[in-house]
């Protein structure tokens, strides 16, 4: 899973935007983990469909 996350090109941009947003500043780490989990689950489902 960690390798999968590292291969996501747009993830760095997303996390940078989250760091700069005051809404996410309250609990950034939880939101980052939750976002990564959802991203992985979504992409895994796409793979399973094929």
**Segment 7-47, tens digit of pLDDT:** 777 777 777 776 776 655 555 556 666 666 676 666 555 54
At 49, the pLDDT band (50, 70, 90 cuts) reads very low
| Helices 28-49, 11-20: crossing angle, 10 deg rounding | 150
Number of domains in the chain: 1
- The three-state DSSP-derived secondary structure of the chain is CHHHHHCCCCHHHHHHHHHHCCCHHHHHHHHHHHHHHHHHHHHHHHHHHC
pLDDT at 21: 66
Q: Which two tokens stand for residue 46?
A: 């796409």
| Structural domain of 37 | 2-49
Answer yes or no: is pLDDT of 5 > 60. yes
pLDDT at 9: 74
pLDDT at 50: 44
């Amino acid at each position: 899973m960690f390798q999968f996350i590292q291969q996501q090109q747009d993830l760095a941009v997303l996390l940078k935007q989250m760091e700069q947003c005051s809404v996410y500043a309250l609990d950034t780490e939880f939101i980052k983990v939750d976002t990564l989990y959802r991203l992985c689950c979504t992409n895994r489902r796409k793979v399973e469909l094929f």
